[in-house]
Amino acid sequence: MIERYTRPEMGAIWTEQNKYQAWLEVEILACEAWAEIGDIPKEDVAKIRENASFDVNRILEIEQETRHDVVAFTRAVSETLGEERKWVHYGLTSTDVVDTALSYLIKQANDILRKDIVNFIDIIAAKAKEHKYTVMMGRTHGVHAEPTTFGLKLGLWYEEMKRNLERFEAAAKVIETGKMSGAVGTYANIDPRVEQYVCDKLGLTASPISTQTLQRDRHAQYLSALALIATSIEKFATEIRGLQKSETREVEEAFAKGQKGSSAMPHKRNPIGSENMVGMSRLMRGYMVTAYENVALWHERDISHSSAERVILPDATITLNYMLNRFGNIVKNLTVFPENMKRNMDRTFGLIYSQRILLALIDKGLVREEAYDTVQPLAMQAWDEQVQFRTLVDASEKITSYLTKEELDECFDYNYHLQHVDMIFERLGLI
């Protein structure tokens, strides 16, 4: 991922230095496991633990000749050791190291993402409670429907992100898995206890069965979970973009002093952060598709997945880390305009209360079809002539023969639509 979207903590996980450090740790732990079993001298392992190291430039230099990164790595490490170097990579195949180390790096990334997700959920929860009763227009098909609150809108995001956290935890459990089962997964040249030892030390689960590789459905599930989180953020960002339109202006991203919205138009205050989220979400879904393409490897392995994973796994975790933090700040600092929300509710001439009139007439004894056919022509007239719906209702002899002025006043009260807000918040646990 380009530096522009890379936060330092996550970026540090995916450096070449940290990757090779993970490889080295896997190699050393494997030696320790062999020593625990009694197959290699413990004093040799102690020397390996103390002295084994690498230089990234030296690895790259050797790789120019070997054209094999793991061979280049093990040779570079061996150059830092004495006779004990013969135990490095003992009984292993390259992917025993690479896949297990990759899962270990992903586990490190997951520790960061987990905190990011929880923090983002907390930000949404706080904003939802702040605007629990901030009444606004609910829209369906982009058209005014009935009143809701901005807090309920945020409560919806809160619940969706809680589901995303559950999906993330399930995917993390699947991906945080190691394997050290040899060239085709039969443990022909490695004791299964080595695998278990290494995985235990790294905090990974040992795969019950594998080929030369961990199966890539694991990685597909993981990137699916990350892509879905990004897509939820895109959904939330799209809502902000819609509500920030000049003709709506119900919310607005924070606009810093000195910030510029356009090189040509000095008045512009654009939802650029939310737009950024939409673009990054598209990337995340692309990474997911590539992960699905990686599932169908040939027989016990090929390396068609390898080049893709060098890009998609670091980039996906880096991108989501950036998205969660940037959009979290957008929500936290979001400017809300309650007065504009109420003003917009009045723009459709009171038509948002049409269902209340419909149901009130039914309650008075009209069948639904008759009640609907009584209300709809007045609603269409209000649309076409841009007159207040209440004025037309008051002038309707049929409606006023069933409903008193007081009953009509109740029908045109938006507070009716908020009567269950407390119950919904209680169900969400937002107390």
pLDDT of 20-61, one tens digit each? 999 999 999 999 999 999 999 999 999 999 999 999 999 999
Q: What are phi and psi of 206, to 5 degrees?
A: -75, 130
Closest Cα partner for 5 from 197, 238, 14, 414? 14
pTM: 0.92
Residue 149: what residue type? Answer: T
Q: Does 259 have pLDDT greater than 90?
A: no
- The answer to whether the beta carbons of residues 218 and 177 sit under 8 Å apart is yes
Q: Per the residue annotation, which of 68, 78, 94, 141 is the catalytic one? A: 141
Q: How many CB atoms lie under 10 A from the CB of residue 4?
A: 6
The CATH class for the domain spanning 351-411 reads mainly alpha
| Structural tokens at position 137 | 């227009």
Which residue in the block uniquely carries the two structure tokens 């109420």? Answer: 342
pLDDT per residue as tens digits for the range 116-149: 999 999 999 999 999 999 999 999 999 998 999 9
CATH classification of 94-182+206-344 is 1.20.200.10, yes or no? Answer: yes
Domain 3-87 fold:
Fumarase C; Chain B, domain 1 (1.10.275)
Q: CA angle, 73 as apex, 311 and 293 as ends, to 5°?
A: 25
For residues 135 and 117, give the distance between their C-alpha atoms in angstroms, rounded to a whole number.
Answer: 28
Q: Output 426-430 pairs: Cβ under 8 A, ≥24 positions apart.
A: 428/128, 428/155, 428/158, 428/159, 430/125, 430/128, 430/129, 430/132, 430/155, 430/158
Q: What is the mean pLDDT of residues 9-17?
A: 98
Cα–Cα distance between 56 and 292 in angstroms, integer? 31
Catalytic residue among 262, 304, 307, 420: 262
Say whether 89 is catalytic. no
261 pLDDT tier (thresholds 50, 70, 90): low
Residue ranges per structural domain of the chain: 3-87, 94-182+206-344, 351-411
**H/E stretch holding 147:** strand 143-149
Strand, helix or coil at 177? Answer: strand
| 68 part of the active site | no
pLDDT at residue 263, rounded to an integer: 52
Quick: pLDDT tens for 78-87: 999 999 999 9
